[in-house]
Amino acid sequence: MALLQITEPGQAADPHDRKRAAGIDLGTTNSLIASVREGVAATLPDMEGRHMLPSVVRYTAEGPIIGAEALEQAALDPHNTIVSVKRLMGRGVEDVRSLGEQLPYRFSEESSGLARIETAAGVVSPIEVSAEILRSLVERASETLAGELDGVVITVPAYFDDAQRQATKDAAQLAGANVLRLLNEPTAAAIAYGLDTGDEGVIAIYDLGGGTFDVSVLRLRRGVFEVLATGGDSSLGGDDFDHAIAEWLIEESGFEGDLSAELQRALLMKARSAKEALTSAEQATISHSDADFKVDAELSRDAFNELISPLVDNTIRACRRSVRDAGVALEEIDNVVLVGGSTRVPLVVSKVADYFGAQPLNDIDPDKVVAVGAALQADVLVGNKPDEEMLLLDVLPLSLGLETMGGLSEKVIARNTPIPIAKAQEFTTYKDGQTAMLIHVVQGERELVDDCRSLARFELTGIPAMVAGAAKIEVTFRVDADGLLSVSARETSTGVEASVEVKPSYGLTDDEITQMLKSSFDHAADDAAQRSLAEARVEAGRVIEALGNALAEDGEALLPAQDIDMLQQAIKKLQERLSGDDTRAITEGTEMLGRASEEFASLRMDAAVRRALAGKQIADLDNEMSDNEV
């Protein structure tokens, strides 16, 4: 049995209707995937409990390695380990050449002018590299959510142009993900804080990552975000804070000369730990000692603030420029949202608050906030929150459904479901060659149609003649904000359609509704038994019908007279049991009849295959098969 999650009242989806959606923050340095489970949007960890996937792919002859394992080997195998591929997305070879000086890759030019990278596993495009990262995240989500994803929302920087956006979509397609929408990163952050539910407003998003800084000014108008201005510095980030500390350390130690690459890396790691410690502590101790280099230093938060102050001031200047570009006054900005791990640094928070004159929003983990916003958006887009945007929240007093074979009521929309709502369910034909279907719309909680209230009947005609169970008839129940129910039925292969409109609560008083509910509780056990009985009868009827047809068609040709007689006796026996109300006897009878006719069924199958193959050459069969595929 599949594992079950808790759902908000009235929101449980039918089996196979449950939609799995995720939001992906495809970042320059790290990527994350998040999803809404049990009403909460959260990032999904891997087996080791790691939420962030380093956006690093290492190509080896044996195949690609993705994430932390690839990052560990970046220094050993720089040509084949692709980092920061996001900077190359949708870029021509000319653009890349300017970046290429910072990147150790061997670029080759493609006829289309797009850059490609030569690796141990052949030439790869930035799109393929991104696809590997996406595939790894999508697989993680599929495992966590126990099924394929129906759709994803991927975030991109607000300044991405069409080529960069298209490249991101292509990467998703290559990874086998269905992209519901690309979402601007600042918009995702605003959604995570629920700022999209307001009517109007201006929002500033301050995003300071490891190696990049972005600031965006958004305007929300009637539920739509418009990007007014973007700015920033593509080579300023938290890593620069680490460098500032490391330089200070070298000065403190009095060391002169060139540092080895190894020592540089070690000092940067220590600087980084000190920076992280100073987020909550007032003081951090840094010590390092080996043959060439010895240092033992105390870094206070004030001293740290002094070191990074010029860097943070640079970000504030970029904010000022963006606000000016956006054409808004500082006082018009209602909210400021902090994104990116480096916004944990207290000096950043206080300088941002000083400039904007308001305390910025930073309750949600700044590393995860973009993915969380994307997940919320994906959940709505995939259809898990029907009509969430609409404010009117009335509920249906009684379930709405329709009559199925055996006089059973199949509930399509459950009671207490908020309206407006639309729900579709697929039904099929019961008899061979059936060309019409009577749709009987009923209301109530009881299992048998006779105990429910009949609302309307209409007929869908023009169904093409097919064997029982082959036609697909989609029946849609739609209740609008005024409580008006419209039911439409549509045969999906031909598109023939019929519909009816009713007002389900018409003429019902509160007392009557209560009475209908009460009777369904009083008769719960009866109803369950009645339902089983009706289902058993329907199944028996279906088997009798199918076997009767088959006997009339092929019986004499395939079976000796006494066998036909035996089967007809068995049918008669089951028909006798049908008039009784012993569910078990009917079910057993149906099973017996099924077993008795097994041999006949296999004889018919063989005969059908012989007929189909008679007088045909293998070549003809091949042709036919390819015809069928067209």
128 touches other proteins by CB under 8 A: no
513 touches other proteins by CB under 8 A: no
Q: Considering only residues 166, 425, 434, 435, which one is a binding residue for other proteins as defined by CB under 8 A? A: 425
524 touches other proteins by CB under 8 A: yes
Rg (CA), the chain: 33
CA distances from 540 to 332, 572, 575 (A): 72, 12, 8
Q: What H or E segment, with its residue span, contains residue 485?
A: strand 485-491
Q: Considering only residues 68, 456, 517, 585, which one is a binding residue for other proteins as defined by CB under 8 A? A: 517
CB of 183 closer than 8 Å to CB of 377:
yes
Segment 1 to 60, residues that bind other proteins, using CB under 8 A: 1-10, 12, 14-16, 18, 38-40, 44-47
Q: CA 338, CA 205: separation in Å to the nearest integer?
A: 6
For the bound state, the minimum distance from the C-beta of residue 15 to other proteins, rounded and expressed in Å, comes to 3
Q: Nearest CA to 311 among 264, 352, 278, 348? A: 348
Taking CB under 8 A as the binding criterion, the range among 59-67, 189-197, 473-481, 527-535 that sits at the site for other proteins is: 527-535
Determine the 3-state secondary structure of 62 from DSSP. coil
291 touches other proteins by CB under 8 A: no
Q: CA 282, CA 380: separation in Å to the nearest integer?
A: 43
403 touches other proteins by CB under 8 A: no
Beta carbon nearer to other proteins, 169 or 385: 385
Question: What's 423-434 look like in SS3?
Answer: EEEEECCCCCCC
379 touches other proteins by CB under 8 A: no
Q: Considering only residues 19, 51, 87, 140, which one is a binding residue for other proteins as defined by CB under 8 A? A: 140
143 touches other proteins by CB under 8 A: yes
395 touches other proteins by CB under 8 A: no
Q: CA 183, CA 187: separation in Å to the nearest integer?
A: 7
Q: Nearest CA to 41 among 302, 380, 311, 488? A: 380
CA distances from 246 to 112, 274, 291, 346 (A): 43, 10, 18, 19
Q: Nearest CA to 64 among 115, 129, 126, 118? A: 129
Residue whose token pair is 């991109």: 156
Taking CB under 8 A as the binding criterion, the range among 88-96, 144-152, 430-438, 578-586 that sits at the site for other proteins is: 144-152
585 touches other proteins by CB under 8 A: no
Taking CB under 8 A as the binding criterion, the range among 28-36, 151-159, 317-325, 525-533 that sits at the site for other proteins is: 525-533
Q: Considering only residues 86, 301, 411, 440, which one is a binding residue for other proteins as defined by CB under 8 A? A: 411
Beta carbon nearer to other proteins, 475 or 574: 475
Q: Considering only residues 61, 525, 618, 625, which one is a binding residue for other proteins as defined by CB under 8 A? A: 525
Beta carbon nearer to other proteins, 297 or 475: 475
CB of 399 closer than 8 Å to CB of 443:
yes
Bridge-partner residues for 184, per DSSP? 156
Residue whose token pair is 């945007």: 389
511 touches other proteins by CB under 8 A: no
- With contacts defined by CB under 8 A, how many residues of the chain interact with other proteins? 46
518 touches other proteins by CB under 8 A: yes
Neighbours of 432 (CB within 10 A): 14
445 touches other proteins by CB under 8 A: yes
538 touches other proteins by CB under 8 A: no
Pinpoint the alpha helices (H) of 254-300. Answer: 261-277
Determine the 3-state secondary structure of 119 from DSSP. strand
Neighbours of 321 (CB within 10 A): 14
Taking CB under 8 A as the binding criterion, the range among 169-177, 306-314, 407-415, 466-474 that sits at the site for other proteins is: 407-415
Residue type, 237: G
Beta carbon nearer to other proteins, 414 or 422: 414
Beta carbon nearer to other proteins, 144 or 283: 144
Beta carbon nearer to other proteins, 46 or 367: 46
Q: Considering only residues 24, 145, 195, 382, which one is a binding residue for other proteins as defined by CB under 8 A? A: 145
Q: CA 474, CA 583: separation in Å to the nearest integer?
A: 30
Q: Nearest CA to 161 among 90, 226, 103? A: 90
**What is the set of active-site residues?**
25, 86, 185, 207
The residue ranges that bind other proteins (CB under 8 A) are 1-10, 12, 14-16, 18, 38-40, 44-47, 140, 143-146, 410-411, 414, 425-426, 445, 447, 517-518, 520-522, 524-525, 527-528, 531-532, 535
